[in-house]
Amino acid sequence: MKATTEIQATMEEGKPAGVGGISRRAFIGSTAAAAAALAVGAGFDIAHPQDAFADESSPVEKRYTYCDMCNHVPKCGIVAHVKEEKVVRIEPRGKYPAGPICAKGVASLQELYDPNRLLTPKVRTNPKGTGKPQWKDITWEEAYATIAEKFNAAKEKYGPDSVLFFCGDPKEPRGAMQRVATLFGSTSYGTESSVCAAASWMCAQMVFGQNSMGQDPNDKTASALIWTLNPAWSQPYRFSQFMAQKERGCKFVVVDPRVTPTVTGLADIHLQLRPGSDGALLAGWMNQMIELDLVDKDFVENWTIGFDELKAYVKEYTPEKVEEITWVPAEKLVAAVKLIGENHPMTLVTSSKGGCHQTNVGNFQRGVFMLPALYGDLDVSGGLMLGPGLPFDYTASTAAFQLEPMYVEQNYAARRLDRDDFPVWAKYYKMIQTAKLPEYVAEGKIRAGLLLGINSMMWPNTPLYQKAIKDMEFTAAIDYYIRDWTHDYVDMVLPAAMCYERTAPLAVFGRKLFMRTPVVKPLGEAREDWQIILEVGTALGYGEECFHGNVEAALDELLRTADLGVTVADLKAQPEGIEIPGGVTGDRKYAEGKLRKDGQPGFNTQSGKVELSSEVLKGFGFEGIPRFEEPVQNPKSPEAKEYPLVLSTGSRVPYYTHSKLRDVPWLNQFMPDPVVRMNPKDVASRGLSNGQEVKVYNQQGEIRMFLEETNMVMPGVVDIFHGWHQADVNLLTTRDFDPITGFPPFTCGLCEVAKA
């Protein structure tokens, strides 16, 4: 509270202090005070020099919205205080599951009124590859006409798949983007999920027949296994609920190479493994479950296939052998297996990261989903519950709205560019795996693109993707900012409205459905993402199917295809959300035929059983069991002689989301420079010192960063956040993609660190 008073005092004196009228000290005080999660429960005022000053006496109207600074699931609720069409204060909106707003959420106001935002459509005037782009303002009409001309020309000459329709981290526009891609006839629809959560979803589908990232512990959960997640920093809204379960008595095992606030806050046992060795630890875990007689034999016998194969495979993974591979003490592993086995039901929480970013994720991630089944805690209250959820998620995508029937009837799958490279991925998704984008462009298969929220530093070996974007004949990006590391290589950039300024498709919390309407008008000429995509679709000749750019009409169609009996008007009338009835609930639904469309008992897998050995993978010529293989780059590979440190990249920091938010001063003050974290032992053995500038390098390249000496990181490992354009760690990551999922090995490379 002190901090809020301090801010108000600053406002009352009428002297905007520090950044945007809020004192720097006040912002740090309020956010840092709320411990690791950097979450704040109080409200925040803004007084921005140029844009957001409003007359003190003007009336204030409270409008509801939700945050998208981390651009995906959380969507913490916000009450926006609007004066003279300016947002002057924000507060958390208690009724959403997320009570507090984190530092990034608070800083959303500063991003909204950032004087550097892109506010007009721009086109390049000098050819790509001839140095820095020169930009010229154009009208929206000119922009759409050019896009339509270029895309239609590419389609005519090279076929519709030559035009890529892409969404980066922004999730909200995906339903619209996929619809336009399908209308255009292109099978080249791609998203950031092909390096993010989607490896995990498809592995869950292979094991028990539906998407999952596990389930958070609830009041009935006796123990929880958190395998690779640091919600204290990556999902603060979720972390407080974990803490509440800890206080209630739920036991926690956390698997993480680092000593994170999640570990210190929750873990009864912390398994600190070498990054990339997860598959071996998992095999050891299964070995001990069998050894200690902790497997639910009834469940295994009746509802799984492949147990004998799995058992034979894990036999050699004794705790001692596993210790050698993973660096996890044998007795700790045994204690963890027992702790979970003695506290039923257990639930599993896994991540879109860690395990996903390894050369062997398609195996590891399947294996980890087998644990709740082996413990007998799959589809039971408090365990890993399954069940048909709502017909769409926060990405607002019903299959019908995305025109899945058209995709299927016209057999788009047969033309997919990625189907030879990543056939298993192509089976599960209607979005392509973009790992091989550079190859598709070099081979002339992709020639043009509508690139919404794209960031070239998302992929391993960034320069190859920058070149790919540059080599396309025509690309139009859609963003809040001009980001040099990506937009230097495109032909056109279109200004996107921010969350305060735009309608969101829909948000689902539990069984409640919410719609977000703009709380203020877009600044400048910025337009809503959905509107832009639908207007591009209209310009391409699909006016009727794209509702001539009318977002609410499109959402009404989306709701109609979801068949919930809810309209946009209903949702607008109820900013507190509408409860969606129905759905199938209850324990062990698989036994009653409630999980399968055909009503037969079992799971939605190829065999109808939980697949401990995958039938799908065998069909594609892979092994069925989740066999561990060392990462391509590992401490025993030849490169390790010169580059002995394990390179783990991308572990989240509380103040930035990927490549974003470095331009928000309130956040940038916390971590103004790129940082590499190292254990004191490795710092000392290299004669380095805390705070010093160092070079981090390997066979691929070199970056410069500032050294942070910390026990958070284990000896032999370095920890680097991604998305620093001046020190892009994806110059050091390799393109050793997992053959099942196409995912890159962001957490298991090699490097060396020396004085700069």
Ligand X SMILES: Nc1nc2c(c(=O)[nH]1)N[C@H]1C(S)=C(S)[C@@H](COP(=O)(O)OP(=O)(O)OC[C@H]3O[C@@H](n4cnc5c(=O)[nH]c(N)nc54)[C@H](O)[C@@H]3O)O[C@H]1N2
- Piece in contact with Mo ion (CB under 5 A), picked from 188-196, 250-258, 523-531, 594-602: 188-196
**441 vs 507 by CB, closer to ligand SF4:** 507
The only residue of 3, 7, 67, 507 in contact with ligand SF4, by rule CB under 6 A: 67
Q: 487 and 457 in contact (C-beta within 8 Å)?
A: no
Angle between helices 330-341 and 319-326 (to 10 degrees): 120
In the complex, what is the shortest distance from the CB of residue 67 to ligand SF4, in angstroms, rounded to a whole number? Answer: 3
Tell me: cis bond preceding 173? Omega within 30 of 0 counts. Answer: no
Report residue 126: phi and psi, to 5°: -110, 150
Under the rule (CB under 6 A), what is the footprint of ligand X? 70-71, 168-170, 192, 195-196, 227-231, 233-235, 255-258, 260, 275-276, 278, 351-355, 357, 452-453, 455, 458, 478-481, 483, 496, 529, 648-652, 654, 656-660, 722-723, 729-730, 733, 746-748
Helix H or strand E segment including 27: helix 24-33
Count of residues that bind ligand SF4 according to CB under 6 A? 13
The only residue of 11, 21, 75, 459 in contact with ligand SF4, by rule CB under 6 A: 75
Helices then strands, each counted (H, E), the chain: 27, 28
**17 vs 102 by CB, closer to Mo ion:** 102
Angle at 32 between CA 31 and CA 35, to 5 degrees: 110
DSSP label at residue 611: E
What single-letter amino acid sits at 592?
E
260 binds, among ligand X, Mo ion, ligand SF4, none (CB under 5 to 8 A by kind): ligand X
**68 vs 682 by CB, closer to Mo ion:** 68
In the complex, what is the shortest distance from the CB of residue 425 to Mo ion, in angstroms, rounded to a whole number? Answer: 16
**70 vs 337 by CB, closer to ligand X:** 70
Q: How far is it, in rounded angstroms, from Cα 598 to Cα 593? A: 8
β-pairing, 86-92 vs 44-45, is antiparallel
Report residue 507: phi and psi, to 5°: -130, 140
In the complex, what is the shortest distance from the CB of residue 459 to Mo ion, in angstroms, rounded to a whole number? Answer: 13
**75 vs 660 by CB, closer to ligand X:** 660
Q: How far is it, in rounded angstroms, from Cα 131 to Cα 66? A: 39
Nearest 10 degrees: Cα torsion 644, 650, 654, 655: 110
Classify 308 as helix, strand or coil.
helix
Is 69 a residue that touches ligand SF4 (CB under 6 A)? yes
Is 102 a residue that touches ligand SF4 (CB under 6 A)? yes
User: Given its phi and psi angles, is residue 726 left (phi above 0), alpha (psi -120 to 50 degrees) or beta?
Assistant: alpha
In the complex, what is the shortest distance from the CB of residue 624 to ligand X, in angstroms, rounded to a whole number? Answer: 23
734 binds, among ligand X, ligand SF4, Mo ion, none (CB under 5 to 8 A by kind): none
Per-residue buried b or exposed e for 171-191, using 16+ beta carbons within 10 Å of the residue's own CB: bbbbbbbbbbbbbbebbbbbb
Number of residue whose CB is nearest ligand SF4? 105
Per-residue binder mask for ligand SF4 (CB under 6 A), 233-272, x = binder: ---xx-----------------------------------
Is 105 a residue that touches ligand SF4 (CB under 6 A)? yes
Q: 734 and 460 in contact (C-beta within 8 Å)?
A: yes
The only residue of 196, 271, 371, 595 in contact with Mo ion, by rule CB under 5 A: 196
**108 vs 634 by CB, closer to ligand SF4:** 108
**239 vs 542 by CB, closer to ligand X:** 239
Tokens encoding 634 = 């590992």
**128 vs 658 by CB, closer to Mo ion:** 658
In the complex, what is the shortest distance from the CB of residue 317 to Mo ion, in angstroms, rounded to a whole number? Answer: 30
Number of residue whose CB is nearest ligand X? 650
**11 vs 118 by CB, closer to ligand X:** 118
Q: Both ends of the chain: CA-CA distance in Å?
A: 43
Q: Which of 233, 120, 231, 104 is nearest to 663 (CA)?
A: 104
Number of residue whose CB is nearest Mo ion? 196
DSSP symbols for 639-663? GGGT--EEEEE----TT-BTTBSTT
Classify 594 as helix, strand or coil.
coil
- Piece in contact with ligand SF4 (CB under 6 A), picked from 66-74, 356-364, 661-669, 711-719: 66-74
67 binds, among Mo ion, ligand SF4, ligand X, none (CB under 5 to 8 A by kind): ligand SF4
In the complex, what is the shortest distance from the CB of residue 124 to ligand SF4, in angstroms, rounded to a whole number? Answer: 32
In the complex, what is the shortest distance from the CB of residue 661 to Mo ion, in angstroms, rounded to a whole number? Answer: 15
30 binds, among Mo ion, ligand X, ligand SF4, none (CB under 5 to 8 A by kind): none
Q: How far is it, in rounded angstroms, from Cα 458 to Cα 466? A: 11
Tokens encoding 585 = 């609930």
**47 vs 98 by CB, closer to ligand X:** 98
- Piece in contact with Mo ion (CB under 5 A), picked from 14-22, 155-163, 194-202, 398-406: 194-202
354 binds, among ligand X, ligand SF4, Mo ion, none (CB under 5 to 8 A by kind): ligand X
By the 10 Å C-beta count (0-12 exposed, 13-18 middle, 19+ buried), 331 is classed as: exposed
CB atoms within 10 A of CB 210: 16
- Piece in contact with ligand SF4 (CB under 6 A), picked from 72-80, 210-218, 266-274, 394-402: 72-80
The only residue of 7, 47, 76, 546 in contact with ligand SF4, by rule CB under 6 A: 76
195 binds, among ligand SF4, ligand X, Mo ion, none (CB under 5 to 8 A by kind): ligand X
482 binds, among Mo ion, ligand X, ligand SF4, none (CB under 5 to 8 A by kind): none
Helix H or strand E segment including 103: helix 103-106
Q: How far is it, in rounded angstroms, from Cα 453 to Cα 480? A: 8
Tokens encoding 90 = 């924000």
In the complex, what is the shortest distance from the CB of residue 726 to ligand SF4, in angstroms, rounded to a whole number? Answer: 23
Q: 256 and 264 in contact (C-beta within 8 Å)?
A: no
74 binds, among Mo ion, ligand SF4, ligand X, none (CB under 5 to 8 A by kind): ligand SF4
Per-residue binder mask for ligand SF4 (CB under 6 A), 607-636, x = binder: ------------------------------
Range 199-238, binding ligand SF4 (CB under 6 A):
236-237
Tokens encoding 301 = 């016998």
CB atoms within 10 A of CB 675: 18
DSSP label at residue 527: B
Report residue 377: phi and psi, to 5°: -115, 25
Q: 749 and 440 in contact (C-beta within 8 Å)?
A: no
The only residue of 3, 87, 98, 426 in contact with ligand SF4, by rule CB under 6 A: 98
**Binding region for ligand SF4 (CB under 6 A):** 67, 69-70, 74-76, 98, 101-102, 104-105, 236-237
**Binding region for Mo ion (CB under 5 A):** 196
